[in-house]
């Protein structure tokens, strides 16, 4: 019997996913009594056990948020705290200071808006809002919905606290270290939205897999994984030792642009070979996809 297509997708996503970015101002909070403390060491260990890199960024001021843009581009999944308490820029008078008071969620909404604007309808993005404000989940999802209210491509499943388009998924979940008794665990509506640190890697992988669950996305993710995992192989082949040979070719041909074109083709062939030897069987995937999507039925005419 063919492997279930959903299981194939989970395996592909698990191989693909490498770096999860956390943005939380309390990530390195040493005071264990701090209500919004976020244990960066525990989170790093949890993802290390799952074979994934974990980048944890703790902004302290509004200016620090400018660093997020480059981090977003290098992250497979982005996890944001809802309430970022940051030092504001200096203001000239008390009136301006009062106007600059940070409403809860303002900075996170700005970051989500930036990610969405960059993604457009082209880039795949998974965002998890991971918050201590469990009782405010309905308010948070409405705030996020307001960001995309003018975009007809986005839909909202309020009961599951998710906003999504064809290529962007935003989830809101409740933060839990697993230590102590979370009062929300007795709330039937919110109990399933509590995600403990230990369960974060599995939760993120499953949500990613459910979101991309398709034959071509699987092939693309598997191909990218092969390239990522074998980057050092390509660099080893194209070493500085063959620079003289390339320079000799470059200066000896009538059109030097042909040398660059040849080099691009050679590297492209190396990448293609990596994908072709990636170890995934597209025929089995197709069989599983058909089992999942095509159902036998009898029609009387």
Q: 288: which 2 tokens?
A: 């599983």
Q: And the tokens for 199?
A: 């369960």
| Spatial contact of 20 and 54, defined as CB atoms under 8 Å apart | yes
pTM: predicted TM-score of the whole model, two decimal places: 0.87
* pLDDT tens-place values along the chain, 301 residues long: 568 999 999 999 999 999 999 999 988 875 656 666 788 999 999 999 999 999 999 999 999 999 999 999 999 999 999 999 888 865 544 444 444 445 678 999 999 999 999 999 999 999 999 998 888 899 999 999 999 998 999 999 999 999 999 999 999 999 988 776 566 666 777 888 999 999 999 999 999 999 999 999 999 999 999 999 888 888 888 889 999 999 998 999 888 889 989 999 999 999 998 888 878 889 999 999 999 888 887 888 8
Q: How many residues does the structure list for the chain?
A: 301
Shortest CA distance to 62 belongs to which of 97, 86, 28?
86
pLDDT at 187: 73
Query: What is the per-residue pLDDT for 99?
Result: 44
pLDDT of residue 206: 96
pLDDT at 46: 95
pLDDT at position 96: 46
Quote the pLDDT of residue 91.
52
Helices (H), 176-214: 188-191, 200-212
Q: How far apart are CA 84 and CA 106, in angstroms?
A: 8
d(CA 76, CA 121): 17
């Amino acid at each position: 019997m063919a492997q279930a297509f959903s299981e194939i997708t989970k395996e592909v996503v698990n191989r693909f996913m490498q770096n999860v970015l956390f943005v939380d101002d309390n990530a390195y909070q040493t005071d264990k009594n701090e209500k919004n403390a976020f244990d960066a060491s525990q989170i790093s260990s949890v993802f290390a056990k799952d074979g994934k890199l974990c980048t944890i960024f703790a902004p302290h001021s509004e200016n620090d948020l400018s660093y997020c843009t480059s981090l977003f581009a290098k992250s497979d999944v982005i996890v944001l705290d809802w309430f970022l308490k940051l030092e504001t820029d200096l203001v000239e008078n008390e009136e301006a200071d009062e106007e600059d008071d940070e409403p809860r969620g303002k900075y996170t909404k700005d970051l989500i808006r930036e990610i969405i604007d960059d993604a457009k309808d082209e880039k795949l993005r998974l965002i998890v809002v991971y918050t201590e404000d469990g009782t405010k989940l309905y308010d948070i999802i409405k705030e996020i919905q307001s960001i995309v209210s003018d975009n007809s491509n986005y839909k909202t499943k309020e009961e599951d606290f998710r906003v999504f388009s064809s290529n962007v998924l935003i989830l809101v979940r409740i933060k839990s270290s697993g230590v102590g008794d979370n009062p929300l665990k007795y709330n039937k509506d919110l109990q399933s939205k509590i995600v403990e640190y230990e369960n974060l890697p599995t939760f993120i992988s499953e949500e990613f897999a459910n979101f991309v669950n398709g034959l071509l996305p699987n092939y693309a993710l598997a191909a990218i994984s092969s390239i990522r995992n074998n980057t050092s192989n390509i660099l080893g082949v194209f070493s500085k030792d063959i620079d003289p040979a390339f320079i000799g070719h470059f200066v000896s041909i009538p059109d030097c642009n042909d040398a660059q074109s040849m080099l691009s083709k050679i590297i492209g062939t190396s990448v293609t070979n990596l994908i072709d030897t990636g170890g995934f069987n597209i025929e089995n995937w197709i069989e599983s996809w058909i089992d999942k999507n095509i159902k036998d039925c009898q029609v009387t005419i």
